[in-house]
Chains A and B, each alone.
Chain A
Amino acid sequence: MNFLNDPLKVAAAWLEGIFTGWGMDAVAAHVLVVFLGVFLLIAILMVLDIFLVWVERKVVARFQDRLGPNRVGPFGLIQPFADIIKLIIKEDTTPEGADKVVYNLAPILSMASVLILWAVVPLAPVMLGVDLNVGVLFLIAAGAIGTLSIIMAGWSSNNKFALIGGFRQVAVMVAFEIPMLTMLMIPTIFAGSMNMNDIIESQNIWYFIISPLGALIFLVAAIAELGRAPFDLAEGESELVAGFNIEYSGMKFGMFYAGELLHAFTFGGFWSILFFGGYRFFGLEQVSPFLAILILVIKAMVGYWVIMWIRYTMMRIRIDQMLAFNWKFLTPLSFVLVLVTALMNALLSGADAWLYILGMFLSNVIVGWVALEIARSVAQKERERVEGAKAVEAAPH
């Protein structure tokens, strides 16, 4: 065991040795070391978050055929740090009539709900995070805190736009939680475990290949959960002026903003863990834990990039369309997909590996194709209905 093969354990053992050398209790020393480790991880995440501001602005600029930040530092790299300083020295206003405690608690909970997600992220084969046997449900549990923070922000701001934005966002978040929950069942069925690390270890073939439709539905549900375009009702700049965070300024707004970016990156990471093998990449992860972390970060960045790609390509959907899309299309589809997956899994359990993969893939394609055909015909009818209504309106009475 040396530092390069297992940096976390070596560093922990070294620190624990120092602390017990000072006459500290062994258990207390262990807890203190873990506390420091968690602190370090979250501090790194916050620094990464600052960097993500730059990534997001640069990428959106490219999508919109602009240059993005390019004045402060090389490629504008210092820009986000300048933004942070600006946020810190800005005045923190509290609107009159606001509920002060709830108003101040909301941004903290919003950021915390994202940060605690990293508790269950396996970074490398030797850095598993917390080895929870309910890892995938932890994702939803942390999301519940995030939902709560939005409702708190919307309600406590004493502003109509904030209240409407918060309510709409919460309605969308809870609605899309159902497809997300069901899609989390698909890796669970394949791996036979809810543990994030078991899911990674059992992916000798990416689950994306076995269940492409599942990965797609998960991505859609994740984008809705993040509140990003095309599901960014809470923000709705043009109709709700900013939604639930309209009254926030300074660092409190910064927490919402940074929380959203880190949330997107985190979900890119979870997408890659659940469907793209996480830190695994053709055995490269065994070479060095640092390489494994790099692989995970690259995959998470790719996932994050896909989320941005969709965000800056799609337009915003109306709330009635969004809820109808979820309840009438995505929810039934995701339940059908889970049942078909479970059925195929049972039928093909004794079959060869290639037959299993092919059967799963084909069943996914067929379910997806049927669903798309149904959606197409429904959309056709809807278009005809709207056309008909217009024709009746226009007709002379």
Chain B
Amino acid sequence: MNKFVGKVGIVEILVWIFLILVFLFTVTPIVFMVCASFMDSRQILAMPFHWIPSSDYFTSADRTFFTNFVKAIMGNNENATFFRNMFNSFVVAIVDSVTTVLLASLCGYGLAKFNFKGRNIVFMSIMATMMIPFEAIMIPLYMVVSGMDLMNSYRGLILPFMVSAFGVFQMRQYLLTFPSEYLDAARVDGLSEPRIYSSIVLPNCKPVIATLGILSFRNQWDNLLWPLLVAQRETMKTLPQYITQFSEEKMTDEGAMMACAFLASIPMIILFFALSRYFLGGAAVYDSRKG
């Protein structure tokens, strides 16, 4: 017995050491970003590196710990497009996650709870679009959007991501387990089908709505490629574009770059700690694909 406990102890310690090393690997760069956003470039690139921001490294007298943030917000042209671009990112991400939730739940409900002719064909063709990656159709999409005169508009940014095949699939899987008795009871009570969807089905999908909404929000918040194609006017750009441009011009101002990255990440970090359950759940639901 004693021997057994001793053996477990060693394994346990090794496991902990390994897990802490991985922890350092994933967290250190984020801590670095936060610390560096308060530092002067001289300190960021000093050898050896000191983690605590210090005014000893300041190169000019009017520099404060927040100079980097002012620079990040004022941007390349000193016109504070940062806020405008952040606003654009919010608009695109929020609208797309709301439409994704609504359209995917509606379609998933139709596929899970109704027996209409051609249901399997509808389902299979929606699943087939998962095999068409956005990256392979972005050029024709660009031609479509510019043909519809939607360049540099919210509609152009939002339209191609209004719903995803994966969202439909996830909603369908979730609703398959939803008891049909509730729906029948509502029908007996004389509720119309759209009413049943809006007042019975939707409110009962809250967990899957949260995961899907967050997933879609995060994907759009992270989207760089599509805005690069359709948003060429400064005022219509989104945050990832802003960061790319800013870092291109302020390549030698590492502190400002990190402040910019930090500011752009704050909304997601807040969202993550507030709703981490749904973030982690969002990763895990992919697993239900096989079932």
State whether these chains interact: no
Where the two chains meet, the residues of B that have a C-beta atom closer than 8 Å to any C-beta of A are none
